[in-house]
Amino acid sequence: MENAKNVALVTGANRGLGLETARQLAQKGVTVVLAARKLASAEEAAAKLKSEGLNDIYAIQLDVTKGSERSAAAQQIEKQFGRLDILVNNAGIAPTEGGAFEKRTINTSEAELHEVFNTNVFSTILLTHDLLPLLLKSEGGRIVNLSSILGSLTLHSQPNGPIAAAKRFSYNASKTALNAFTVHLADELKDTRIKVNSVHPGWVKTEMGSEAAPMEIPDGARTSVELALIGPDGPTGRFIHQGQELPW
Ligand SMILES: NC(=O)c1ccc[n+]([C@@H]2O[C@H](COP(=O)([O-])OP(=O)(O)OC[C@H]3O[C@@H](n4cnc5c(N)ncnc54)[C@H](OP(=O)(O)O)[C@@H]3O)[C@@H](O)[C@H]2O)c1
């Protein structure tokens, strides 16, 4: 997959892990369609990467929750490139009410459930649906879903496990559902060249991860980039962090 002609779409790429994933893919010779929900933010991020000598970057507006923008993105990529080689479903949100990772299950508001699932799950599925015809035109076709270790039911059900205390239901369950999408889509596409994987980037110092996070952004983006560039013998339907499989 690692050749200069690959075209990648990275969502939520104006900051945090998305911007860094766009940077690292461009550094590896990939043409990057850098998407953000505001065109000005996408253009600003693209200009920043261009100032670093990464010229094969195209800014587009894509709020993943808007159907018209998902269709427009697919049409624009088809018109400009005729196919898509890599889709990094990076855009995501954490709930804000009462602090992003405060323990909260039964008292989750309806608004929070809708908002978090709409962005992290439904919109990811719908965008992937709209881009699948272009991914099928690729000689490879890689789908990287930005999940989280917090989506692991196996680890959550261990009372003394590493994530036992991090019980924010809406966010965690949205990543569990995203993982289910990875498994189901990988199965549906198993007779094609496309590979679909879930990634846990690590706990990373972004706006979402906060300054308390131990990992720097360049290290956090590494797993997404690796999975975006895996070869034909690479994994599919897996949940991966830095080369290691995580339990579902
Ligand atoms: N940081 C961590 O420790 C960590 C750990 C595990 C998983 N993750 C996952 O990694 C991904 C990236 O996280 P991050 O830490 O880089 O978060 P971040 O710094 O908060 O960045 C999130 C990005 O997603 C974009 N976004 C949000 N809603 C969107 C929408 N409707 N349409 C398009 N873009 C949208 C944001 O755009 P705006 O600038 O317009 O808001 C921003 O560019 C997320 O899926 C997150 O759940 C992060």
As given in the structure block, the two tokens for residue 236 are 């599919």
pLDDT tens string 176-192: 999 999 999 999 999 99
Q: In what order do the strands lie in the sheet with 142-146?
A: 57-61, 31-36, 7-10, 86-89, 142-146, 195-199, 238-241, 244-245
Going from the Cα of 159 to the center of ligand 1, the distance in angstroms, rounded, reads: 28
Instruction: Evaluate if residue 245 carries a pLDDT over 90.
Output: yes
Q: What is the pLDDT of residue 98?
A: 81
36: its two tokens? 């953000």
Kindly name the residue from 58, 171, 190, 195 that is annotated as catalytic.
Answer: 171
What domains, with CATH codes, occur in the chain? 7-245 (3.40.50.720)
Backbone angles phi, psi at 3, to 5 degrees: -140, 165
Q: Where are the alpha helices (DSSP H) in the chain?
A: 16-27, 39-51, 67-81, 110-117, 123-135, 153-156, 169-188, 217-228
Catalytic residue, chosen from 48, 103, 175, 190, is 175
Query: Does the annotation mark 171 as catalytic?
Result: yes
Residue 246, token pair as written in the block = 């995580």
Q: What is the pLDDT of residue 99?
A: 77
- What whole-number distance in Å separates Cα of residue 188 and Cα of residue 155? 26
Ligand 1 contact via 146 beta carbon (within 6 Å): yes
For the cut 90, the answer to whether the pLDDT of residue 100 exceeds it is no
* Distance set, CA 49 to CA 15, 144, 195 (Å): 12, 21, 27
Determine if ligand 1 sits within 6 Å of the CB of residue 100.
no
Summarised one tens digit per residue, pLDDT across range 137-147 is 999 999 999 99
The closest alpha carbon to 26, from 37, 44, 38, 10, belongs to 10
Distance in angstroms (rounded) separating the CA atoms of residues 225 and 25: 6
pTM of whole model > 0.85? yes
Q: Residue with structure tokens 């050749």?
A: 3
In terms of phi and psi (left: phi > 0; alpha: psi -120 to 50; beta: otherwise), the region of 53 is left
Nearest Cα residue to atom 8 of ligand 1: 148
- Report whether pLDDT(2) > 80: no
| H or E, element range at 60 | strand 57-61
Q: Each residue of 148-169: pLDDT tens digit?
A: 999 999 999 999 999 999 999 9
Angle between helix axes 123-135 and 67-81 (nearest 10 degrees) is: 20
206 lines ligand 1 (CB under 6 A): yes
Q: Decide: 90 in ligand 1 pocket, CB within 6 A.
A: yes
Q: Quick one: average pLDDT of 46-62?
A: 98
CA distance 115 to 15: 20
